[in-house]
Amino acid sequence: MSPVKPTKARNPRSMVLAIGGVVLGLVLVLLLFVLAIPSLTESGKVEVKLGVDTFNAGSAESRARNITRDGPFLLGDVAGRQRDIYLQHLGDDPAIGWFAFDARQVGQPRDCTLEWQSDSQQFRNPCNGSTVPADGTGLIAYTVTVTDDGNVVVDLGTDDGSTTSTSSTTTSTITVTSRG
């Protein structure tokens, strides 16, 4: 008599059930990745957004005084997307006359940031010598709002890659809508 127990032959039905279960599991996982996960987002892709799309530049009165004295305020892009912008105020009323626009002309490298020329009240491109009006006409612009509590807020999420111009009202809020 042998000390090893003889093995029983496996039932073919149990093998078919085991293989069928594995195949069914793989199909369900595949369906999850192909159909279910993309349908959980609107666009079918995951979009990560860090930070906010608005910048509160502070008191409109204080900022307007500073710009009158020192020139437009350059906001350097700390996010690394090379989107530096100028905040500009024109006129005597701190509630209106605000502009926010790219600090470079379209297609220019970062070392071609426009420079404010206080004597001529315009910007100059240090790379090609061209000039841009004080309100940034021809540059990509962003919506600027003066809030009810007197703060200047720039909406950086309004950049659609096109140039815009301004429209103003006599209320406490000004919205940049299109620059042509």
pLDDT digits (tens, 9 = 90+) for 46-93: 555 555 678 888 999 999 999 999 999 998 875 566 678 999 999 999
What are the backbone dihedrals phi and psi of residue 164, each rounded to the nearest 5 degrees, phi first?
-135, 165
Q: For residue 6, is it within any domain?
A: no
On whether both 44 and 111 belong to a single domain, the answer is: no
On whether both 41 and 77 belong to a single domain, the answer is: no
On whether both 42 and 100 belong to a single domain, the answer is: no
Please check the confidence at residue 24 and state whether its pLDDT lies above 70. yes
On whether both 27 and 88 belong to a single domain, the answer is: no
CA distance 179 to 167: 9
Kindly report the pTM of this predicted structure: 0.61
On whether both 36 and 60 belong to a single domain, the answer is: no
On whether both 69 and 112 belong to a single domain, the answer is: yes
Look at the chain and report how many structural domains it folds into: 2
Structural domain of 64: 54-176
Q: In the prediction, which pLDDT does 134 show?
A: 95
Please tell me whether residue 83 adopts helix, strand or coil conformation.
Answer: coil
Q: For residue 3, is it within any domain?
A: no
On whether both 44 and 59 belong to a single domain, the answer is: no
On whether both 137 and 73 belong to a single domain, the answer is: yes
On whether both 144 and 58 belong to a single domain, the answer is: yes
Tokens coding 133: 């009006």
Percent of the chain residues topping a pLDDT of 70: 74
CB 56, CB 71: distance < 8 Å: no
On whether both 59 and 42 belong to a single domain, the answer is: no
Report the CATH number that the domain containing residue 156 is assigned in CATH: 2.102.10.10
CB 145, CB 63: distance < 8 Å: no
On whether both 144 and 72 belong to a single domain, the answer is: yes
On whether both 43 and 71 belong to a single domain, the answer is: no
